Amino acid sequence: MQSIIQVKGLTKSFKNLTAVKDLSFTVNEGDVYGFLGQNGAGKSTTIRMLLTLIEPTAGSIELFGMPLNTHRTEILRQVGAVIEKPDVYKYLSAIENLRIFARLSGLKPTDQQLMQQLEMVGLAGRAKDTVKTFSQGMKQRLGIAVALIHDPQLIILDEPTNGLDPQGIADIRNLIRHLSRDLNKTVLVSSHLLNEIEQIATRVLIIDKGSKLVEGAAADLFDPSQTLVELETLNNEAALLQLQESKWAANLQPRRTGALLIKLHRNQIPGLHKDLVEMQIPLLSLQPRHSLEDYFLQVTSGQHAHTH
Amino acid sequence: MRTLINIELYKIFRRPRTYIAFAAITALIVLIQFGLKVDGQTYVDFMLNDIGSTLEIDGNVLNGYLICYIMLQLLLVHVPLLIALIAADMISGEANMGTLRVLLSKPYSRTSFMLAKFIASTIYTLLLLVWLAFLALFVSMWIFGTDDMFLMKSNYVVLLKENDVFWRYIGAFLFAALAMTTVAALGFFLSVFAENSIGPIVATMSVIIFLTILSTMNIPVFNIVKPYLFTTHMISWKEFFDIQVTESNEAILGSIQNKERILNSAIVLFIHIILFVSGAIMVFRKKDILS
């Protein structure tokens, strides 16, 4: 499998701060590569280095097998990106913005092609409205249309679901899946919504304070046998007593809030639900917690630092 | 490169801010033309007050040529401020909007981006001057007519024949274009250092005001630096309206009193443009885009 991004020993220092330290990772063709880290972990700095917006202090970056510093123009022709906020020209309309960025990518699209692109992100109805009248979610979708207008091979999305409503988030998730599965695009996506990454990523990199904590296949990181379920009932204390007397007693976990926590295999969730009904526990909600979130908290607090 | 320039021009002329300068120039010129049309004779009487008793002047003194000269004297001091509105916003404005990072992740070199932006801001500057020329010269010629041009200098007067004036305006406007491009280059240079528009716009205006004061102050200690300040040379367009005379004090048609000064000023301004633009490109090529 061809590696699309190969980063070796990447370091970036700003005066008194080292934002990225000796970072190495590889993104292969067709990957949906989840890039995780807390705020200030160095995700955006790394992404900006991949796009030549920031010059690395040390290390090397190869994209499509070519060194970025010597083949910048060739490489960027094949890359589409949304970097942090999807900023476009607010005094121009959606279609005008799209036309400008298409021209910058060497294309001369017809209005029909531009409309198709806007259709894909659900903005065809607002094509001629100036962007200053758009909501954050609409700007986000326009930013994604801009990133995809030249049909790039590698798509870099930095927090692509920011400002989107649940339907918008689901649309982006489906779009990323479509890009990867149907069009064989490679996607590098950073997000603070860990459950989003969990649902779409094939590989994951977790960084903290500029250094790699974990890199590996998502399936290895998100172990389904360690799924946490959060229970809310009308009376949590009474429910706890009932569960302590049941076969689920060994699965009960220390509570962090008022809700009850049960660790189990993801496949056991239907059985748990059935037992709760039989025990006549007045259930308000049964919510599987995002395993990656727990995993992420573990590795970033130094409890579980390793590489798969 | 052509694509980049076209895009930059499109962005400039789709912004409402761009038209502030055109509107301001239109308003000022129309105001002056109105004032001179209504009460121009008082202005002429005041202007000729000192020499009226020794020199008999007839004809249409307050003609379009003289009015254009008056307006250029007034406006070419202030036009730089309007140019700064756009030129000093070229990079910082993109950084402020967040579009700089989108632009620079496209497959063009930073040098190409910078040159395209500078060329676009220069075209804007030139169009502003063309508009100024149209209103100040052609509209004034239409409203006030044409005649010989009578100019009061500090200690002498110049009389230019009607058929010897128009080409001088072409030269003056071309020189003004060079001077204003220097201003655009300064604004462009300062624009690289900021991530909001206000800072470089105010800085450009401040530098021009500061250097203009230095250029016009007659204090010996400042005379050493004056020849190197671009503001000293920005007013050399006036040299086009100084004519050579024969030994018998007769004007030589088509002549310019001090061609060397015009050439010298043009070279100094051109060097400033090169320095500002190449400085901006050098800084920008190494700049980390954090906006």
Q: Is residue B112 part of a domain?
A: yes
Instruction: Tell me how many residue pairs between chain A and chain B have CB atoms under 8 A apart.
Output: 77
Q: Is B162 exposed, middle or buried (0-12, 13-18, 19+ CB in 10 A)?
A: middle
Contacts of B230 by beta carbon, 8 Å cutoff, 6+ apart: B179, B182, B186, B211, B268, B269, B272
pLDDT for the residue numbered B155: 74
| Candidates B6, B106, B288; nearest CB to A105 | B106
pLDDT higher than 50, residue B91: yes
pLDDT for the residue numbered A300: 63
Please indicate whether, in this complex, the C-beta atoms of A87 and B286 are within 8 angstroms of each other. no
pLDDT higher than 70, residue A53: yes
* pLDDT tens-digit series, residues B116-125: 999 999 999 9
* pLDDT tens-digit series, residues A92-146: 999 999 999 999 888 888 888 889 888 888 888 888 889 889 887 788 888 888 8
pLDDT for the residue numbered B189: 94
The arithmetic mean of pLDDT across residues A5-32, rounded, is 89
Report percent pLDDT > 90 for chain B.
33
- Partner A contacted by B109 (CB < 8 A): yes
Look up residue B286 and give its amino acid. K
pLDDT higher than 90, residue A39: no
Residue in B with minimal Cα distance to A73: B107
Band of pLDDT at residue B179, cut at 50, 70 and 90: very high
Please indicate whether, in this complex, the C-beta atoms of B99 and A88 are within 8 angstroms of each other. yes
Please indicate whether, in this complex, the C-beta atoms of A100 and B7 are within 8 angstroms of each other. yes
Q: Is residue B251 part of a domain?
A: yes
Total domains, chain B: 1
Q: What average pLDDT is seen over chain B?
A: 87
Greater confidence (B277 vs A290) lies with B277
Residue in A with minimal Cα distance to B5: A104
Report percent pLDDT > 70 for chain B.
98
Band of pLDDT at residue B170, cut at 50, 70 and 90: very high
Sheet holding A58-63, edge to edge: A17-28, A3-14, A58-63, A66-67
* pLDDT tens-digit series, residues B216-268: 888 887 788 888 888 889 888 888 888 888 887 777 877 888 888 999 999 99
A164, A123 in Cβ contact below 8 A? no
pLDDT for the residue numbered A49: 93
Shortest CA gap B97–chain A (Å):
7
* ipTM score: 0.77
| Candidates A53, A55, A92; nearest CB to B101 | A53
Whole-number Å distance between alpha carbons of B225 and B232? 10
Residue in A with minimal Cα distance to B9: A100
A185, A179 in Cβ contact below 8 A? yes
Shortest CA gap B50–chain A (Å):
55
Q: Is residue B138 part of a domain?
A: yes
Q: What average pLDDT is seen over chain A?
A: 84
Shortest CA gap A73–chain B (Å):
4
pLDDT higher than 80, residue A308: no
pLDDT higher than 70, residue A34: yes
pLDDT higher than 60, residue B280: yes
Residues 14-43 of B with CB under 8 A from A: 14-16
Whole-number Å distance between alpha carbons of A292 and A299? 10
Contacts of A27 by beta carbon, 8 Å cutoff, 6+ apart: A3, A4, A5, A6, A33, A186, A188, A203
Q: Which long-range contacts (CB under 8 A, 24 or more apart) does B19-22 make?
A: B20/B82, B20/B85, B21/B79, B21/B82, B21/B83, B21/B85, B21/B86, B21/B128, B22/B128, B22/B131
- Partner A contacted by B283 (CB < 8 A): no
pLDDT higher than 80, residue B45: no
The arithmetic mean of pLDDT across residues B187-209, rounded, is 90
pLDDT higher than 70, residue A165: yes
| Candidates A76, A89, A90; nearest CB to B105 | A76
Q: Is residue B218 part of a domain?
A: yes
Pairing of strands A186-190, A203-208: unpaired
CATH number given to A3-78+152-218: 3.40.50.300
Please indicate whether, in this complex, the C-beta atoms of A73 and B288 are within 8 angstroms of each other. no
| Superfamily covering domain A224-297 | YebC, transcriptional regulation domain (3.30.70.980)
Whole-number Å distance between alpha carbons of B200 and B194? 7
pLDDT for the residue numbered A307: 41
- The two structure tokens encoding residue A185: 């695009």
A34, A205 in Cβ contact below 8 A? yes
pLDDT for the residue numbered A75: 92
The arithmetic mean of pLDDT across residues B102-106, rounded, is 88
pLDDT for the residue numbered B178: 93
pLDDT higher than 70, residue A256: no
Shortest CA gap B89–chain A (Å):
14
User: Which stretches of chain A sit within 8 Å of chain B by CB?
Assistant: 14, 48, 51-55, 72-77, 79, 81, 83-85, 87-92, 96, 100-101, 103-106, 146
Torsion angle of alpha carbons B198, B203, B206, B207, nearest 10°?
-150
pLDDT for the residue numbered B47: 73
A285, A231 in Cβ contact below 8 A? yes
Please indicate whether, in this complex, the C-beta atoms of B108 and A91 are within 8 angstroms of each other. no
Provide the residue range defining the domain that includes B267.
2-286
pLDDT higher than 50, residue A305: no
B79, B180 in Cβ contact below 8 A? yes
Shortest CA gap B98–chain A (Å):
5
Q: Which of A100, A139, A188 to mutate to test the interface with B (most CBs of B within 10 A)?
A: A100
Q: Is residue B291 part of a domain?
A: no
Q: How is chain A split into domains, by residue range?
A: 3-78+152-218, 92-146, 224-297
The arithmetic mean of pLDDT across residues B23-52, rounded, is 83
- Partner A contacted by B111 (CB < 8 A): no
pLDDT for the residue numbered B53: 66
